[in-house]
Structures are given as structure tokens and as C-alpha cells.
Structure 1
Amino acid sequence: MNDQVLRRLWLPVAVVSGILILLGALIWLLFSRVESSISPDPVTIANASLSNMQQQNRLTVFSASYNATVTSTLNKLGLSARKTLIMPGTVRYELDLAKLGAKDVRWDASDNTLYVEMPAIEIARPEVHMEQIQTYDDGGILIALTDADNILDQANRKKGVDALVKQAQNPLQMKLAREAARQAVRHNFTVPLQASGIAAKVDAFFPYERSGYTERWDYSRPINEVLAEQQQKKATTE
């Protein structure tokens, strides 16, 4: 009699226990999905920031004005002509964001740092201030009687553009441009992370600085690999 009573009592208890376990599992699964949908993911945010940056195509990070002074000489028919040109112009320093891919952005979860290897700075073709160009010639016979004036102008303008580019490549200006690019890239990745409440660091560097990041770069993972792994895990749990 006692055995029958125990069996009758055990069966409802077992059923209730099973239901509670099942409910617990369902609640855990529900909360884990809600948490994953609510909790900000730094890799997902970084990937969205990268996509937005790529859509900008080219980013001007710095610009500077220069003055080129060049002189050309033409010898013709036993005569010579000389002309000097002063050419002011503005040069833009740009990042080609189309070259910034997911493989260049890596997340290191151990120290909450996003590492970004930026493409090299590119110098755009100088914008010549045509209205400010000044020319000086020797007023010789060759200029008065032939097309030497046009020939010298064309030669000087080519030399002037080349001189502006050369000035733009000086180490100090390149350093300023790289630092401006570094700050711009950091800003573009940091602001969305901070807005999501993520206290992450963003460390941006150029290819020539890669040797100083070898250890962390090899240890961290490209964000596209992390996202692919997350999607695979999500697919297996559904």
C-alpha cells in the first residue's frame, strides 16, 4: 500500500520536475537571446562603422597651401628665351577608404582594443590657384616673334605642379597628415562604440608601422572572421 502511494506521489513530482527543468531551459534560452539582441557587440558595431567609412570612398584628412617658383629656358634659332612662373596651389592629403577592408580591422577581446591598419596617405593632384599665378620673362626677341611664350608656359606649369607635389611630400607635412588621418579613423570607430556604452580602445596605424604591432596583430582576429563565427554559432542554436 505504501509503495503504491509512493509511486502515485513520485509520478506527479517527476512530471512537475521535468516541466520545471524544461521551463528553466526555455527561460534561459529566451533571456540569452534577448541579452544577445540588446547587449551591444563591439565587432558588429565596428563592422557597421567600417561599412559607413567605405561608402565615403575618399577621406580628406589634411590640406596645405604651397607656392612653387620655377623657371624654363628655350633655345631656338640661335636665340634664347627665359620665363619664370610663381604658382600657388593647395594640396589635399587623402585616405582611400575603399582600400580599408575587414581584414584590416581586428578585435582583441583580451584588452578591448580595436586595431585598424589604415591604407597609406595619398596626395591628390594639386589644385592650382590660376588667378594668382605670376609670370616673368626676359622680354627677348624669341618671345616676341615665336610661340616661345606658350612653350615656356606649358613647361613651367608642368614643373610647377611637380614642385607643389614635391613640397607636399616633405616629412613634416606628411607627419601632420598621418596624425590627422589617425585621429579621423579613431574618431569614426570610437564614437559609435562609446554611443553604445562600450569602453573600447581604437588603435590605428599605417603599414610602415606594422612591425610595432606584430604581436597584437597576430593575436587579434579580423572582424569578418569573428562575425562569421558568431553567425555560425547562431545558426546552430536555432
Structure 2
Amino acid sequence: MARRMRRSEPWRLIVAIALLLAVVGGLLYAWQDYRDRAVVTKPAEAPEGPAVTQIVTARMAGMSQLRVARLSGIVQAAATDTRWGGLLKSGRVAKMPYSVDYTVDLSRLSTRDLQWNEAERTLIVDAPDIVADRANVDEGQAVVVERSGTFVTRGAGEALGTRVSRAADRAAVREATSPERLAQARELARGAIARTLAAPLNAAGQPDARVVVTFPAERGRSGARWDQSRTPAEVLGNGQ
């Protein structure tokens, strides 16, 4: 019994060291993330000098999202501020450019999402739905078109700027996610996805093949029965 306990002690030590390294690694990652985001970074050549504008981190990553549309325009945002029990009232109205990109995550497509209609020579693609990305409001190009308030304190001015920015962001998101805009983006997405998938069909000797793209909300509406006797991979293989 004592021998078994002594033999297991090295494994316990290894496990303990692994857990310790994991904890230390997690703490190090958390510190690095905090440092990148919240600590002023000094120039490498003059670490004791004043803070300067510089790139703190830069990471390159591959993207599987296909950008299919972009909504852009001008948004108007208004905000008010009240202080000193209602004695000081101020307001601001500003206009600024905005844009919102719509993407489709093609990495979610699998062979189960593809059907081949032999009679119609048509590839049916059950695509994932489009996603409206985060609104990009260009505050640097903002123009204040209206101000109100006889005396605006520094704190009130800062609060008005923050509220105007948030109001502009909310308005851009509402517009981008409205049923009308989403419908427009889906129509543009059909063409983008069809062009993307038409290229391998053409290369496989199927230049006349048609690509039909459907989205989740549209599935099951059509009464047509597609021929699934051959998978798209078999069609491409025969064409080659």
C-alpha cells in the first residue's frame, strides 16, 4: 500500500504543476489583455518619454464571412442634459456618416445544405442567414447642427457628446436591422453567394448550372421537390 502511494506521488506532483502553470498562464493572459487595453504604452526607444500615438497590438486572422452588402448614409442624433435640479438645460443635435456591413458565414455551409436538381441543372443552397455587423458611426465627421442652453458646463458638454454618439449608434442599428433593409441585404446576398459557388461549377464543366440560394425564413415555402439522387460532390466529380 505504501509503495502504491509513493508511486502515485510523482503523478500528483505533475498534475499539480500542470494546474499551477494553467493558473499562471491565465493570469498572464488577463494581465496582457488589461495592459493592452487600459495601460498607457510608452515608445520602445524612449520608455520614460510622453505617450504618443502608436499601434499597441496587431493580429491578423483569416475570415470565413462573405461580405454581401453595405448600408451607409447620414444619421441625425439628438440628446439633452439637465443639471442643478432642472435650472440648467442643454441640448445638441448632430449629423454624422454611418455604415453597416452585412455578412454571411460560409464556414457554416456543409454538404447537407446543398442539393442538386438534375432535371433543372440547379444547385440549391440552404445558406445561413445574413448578419448585420456592428454599426460604424464616423464621429470624426460629425457636424453639430443645433445647440440649446444658455450655459453648458464642461460635464454637460461631455455628457451630450456621449449621448449623441450612443443615440446615433442605436439609430443606425435600428435602420440596419429593419425588415426592409434585411430583405434588401438578403437579395444582394443571393447574388454574391451564387457567384461564389458558380465558379467551381463552371470549372467542373457545368457552365450552364443555375444556383438558387435560400435563407432560413424561406425554407419550406415552396412545394417543389428537388431531385436529391446525386450530391453536388458527385455532380462536380462527373463533370471533371
Q: TM-score range by the shorter chain?
A: 0.5 to 0.7
The aligned counterpart of 1:166 is 174
Q: How does 1:1-238 map to 2 (within 5 A)?
A: 56-77=63-84, 78=86, 79-135=88-144, 136-141=146-151, 143-144=152-153, 146-198=154-206, 199-213=208-222, 215-216=224-225, 220=228, 223=231
**How far is 1:200 from its partner?**
2.5
Contact 1:104 1:222 in 2 (8 A): no
1:137-188 CA-to-partner distances (Å, cap 9, x unmatched) read 22432x23x4011111111111101101212234443333211110111111
1:18-65 CA-to-partner distances (Å, cap 9, x unmatched) read xxxxxxxxxxxxxxxxxxxxxxxxxxxxxxxxxxxxx75111111121
CA–CA distance in structure 1, aligned partners of residues 137 and 229 of structure 2: 44
CA–CA distance in structure 2, aligned partners of residues 57 and 81 of structure 1: 46
CA–CA distance in structure 2, aligned partners of residues 119 and 149 of structure 1: 44
Higher helix share: 1
**How far is 1:112 from its partner?**
2.8
Q: Which amino acid aligns with 2:203?
A: A
CA RMSD between the two structures: 2.6
Partner of 1:119, secondary structure, is coil
> Gapped runs of 5+ residues in structure 1?
1-54, 231-238
1:50-95 CA-to-partner distances (Å, cap 9, x unmatched) read xxxxx75111111121222121112211321212121211111111
CA–CA distance in structure 2, aligned partners of residues 214 and 57 of structure 1: 32
> Gapped runs of 5+ residues in structure 2?
1-61
The size of the alignment, in residue pairs, is 170
Bigger radius of gyration = 1
Structure 1 residues 137 and 110: alpha-carbon distance in aligned structure 2, compared to 1, 3 A threshold: same
Partner of 1:88, secondary structure, is strand
CA–CA distance in structure 1, aligned partners of residues 68 and 229 of structure 2: 27
Contact 2:67 2:102 in 1 (8 A): yes
TM-score with structure 1 setting the length = 0.62
Higher relative contact order (CA 8 A, sep 6+): 1
Partner of 1:197, secondary structure, is coil
Partner of 1:211, secondary structure, is coil
